[in-house]
């Protein structure tokens, strides 16, 4: 299926997170090109991420690799997304 080839963007977040909401707004133009997976770092099963990122959210991983934190660098994201899309074709 098409979604199988879509890159997965993981957003490490917690509630409330105004910066995360802002980041999701910035990513909107790219919606449909990736799968957004949100990880709530305050959940007990995500303690390892909480310890790592509690002062840094939002943090983004693309296909499991660290991409950016605090604010979305849309140019960097676009570049990485394009690279992955090319690899998948």
**H/E run at residue 4:** none
Provide φ and ψ at 85, rounded to 5°.
-65, -40
Structure tokens at 69: 């934190």
Burial 73-82 (b: 16+ CB within 10 A, else e): eeeebeebbe
Domain borders along the chain are 8-88
Q: How far is CA 38 from CA 34, 82, 87, in A?
A: 13, 21, 24
Domain 8-88, CATH among 3.10.450.50, 3.40.50.150, 1.10.1740.110, 3.40.30.10: 3.40.30.10
Alpha carbons 82 and 6: distance in angstroms, whole number: 11
**pLDDT (tens digit, 0 to 9) for every residue of the chain, 89 residues total?**
455 689 999 999 999 999 999 999 999 999 999 999 999 999 999 999 999 999 999 999 999 999 999 999 999 999 999 999 998 77
């Amino acid at each position: 299926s098409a979604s199988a080839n879509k890159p997965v963007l993981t957003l490490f977040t917690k509630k409330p997170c105004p910066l995360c909401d802002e980041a999701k707004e910035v990513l909107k133009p790219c919606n449909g090109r990736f799968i957004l997976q949100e990880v709530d770092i305050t959940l007990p099963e995500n303690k390892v991420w909480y310890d790592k990122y509690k002062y840094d959210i939002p943090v983004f991983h693309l296909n499991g690799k660290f991409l950016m934190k605090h604010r979305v660098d849309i140019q960097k994201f676009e570049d990485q997304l394009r690279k992955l899309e090319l690899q998948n074709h």
